[in-house]
Amino acid sequence: MTATSRKIPAEPSLQQFPHPFRLYLAATRPAFFSASLVACLLGIAVASHSGMEVNWPLAALSICLAFLVHAAVNVLNDYFDADGTDAINLDRVYPFTGGSRFIQNGVLSKQQTRRFGYGLLTAAIAGGLWLVWQAGIGLFWIGLAGVLIGWAYSATPFKLNSRGWGELCVLLGFLGVVVGMDFVQRRGFSMQPLQLGLPYALLVTNLLYINQFPDRKADMQAGKRHWVARLNLRQAVLGYALIAMLAGAWLMLLVALQVLPETALLAGLPLFFSWRAFFLLRRHATQPQLLAPAIIDSIRAMLLHGVLLSFVLMMGIL
């Protein structure tokens, strides 16, 4: 057993959660909120780079609402996949793929999961409407798009991920977080968060993409036809490299066009982890249980890129 595998936690059991608060918090998979947190920080940084004075109370509320939406999407994904792919997934790499396992391991029932997911979504919508009142009606459309994309990703009858639209959903969803955070500070729309947030959104998409390799067999049996399932393994592996290349190329283009300062190229350094993940994926695509290091490298690439770019923008490094 490697050092990496020893760090991977055991699947949940009811005995692990004597207190309901801890149980329900764990069901949201909070460790993965870091993806939303960095998207929020990047949106704030873009607005600051444009000369906006950051309203930190509104920024903090916006981050909390982003967490609520992310939590709701995670929980509802568990609910809608419970009787399909998650029930038959023997190749999962916990905690990264195969769902939270709360339903499968008897920690929560399907109905408890459903009520909890929609409760989180209702709370996020209520808080979002108050934020719209503070920031402007344009935020309503950004939030509405984000909620619909997150819900329709797994929910019947849409099941967008099963139809090959999952990668686009994740790309637009996390790009929407960057745009929304920028809007709250700017009180208006700008092309900047779209331009500057795209590499980060692509790297988040690549995390979803690589997570689908361990789930590929179960997803195909359950009728989920995302791109990792549609393509043969060799083509699917190359798809990971393509997404990473697009993220790096877009960042370099922004620098070449002087949209970003040259020091923003520092944010391209974490792509080293994407390429290391690609070589691991190419070697172990048929051995799902060996893909945890590649998934962790994909997380590192995503988070470090977003943090470094946010730092460059916030500090005004030239």
| Domain boundaries along the sequence of the chain | 17-315
Contact 32, 74 (CB under 8 A): yes
Average pLDDT over residues 109-129: 98
Is this model's pTM higher than 0.85 or not?
Answer: yes
**Quick check: 14 pLDDT over 50?**
yes
Confidence of residue 8 (pLDDT cuts 50, 70, 90): low
Contact 210, 294 (CB under 8 A): yes
What pLDDT, in 10s, does the model give residues 164-194?
Answer: 999 999 999 999 999 999 999 999 999 999 9
pLDDT at position 315: 87
Residue 111 CA to residue 108 CA, distance in Å, equals 8
pLDDT at position 9: 78
pLDDT at position 37: 98
Confidence of residue 7 (pLDDT cuts 50, 70, 90): low
Q: Kindly list the distances between the CA atom of residue 175 and the CA atoms of 40, 244, 253, in Å, as whole numbers in the listed order.
A: 10, 16, 18
Residue 178 CA to residue 161 CA, distance in Å, equals 22
Match 């745009």 to its residue by tokens. Answer: 179
**Quick check: 125 pLDDT over 80?**
yes
Secondary structure class of 214 (helix, strand, coil): coil
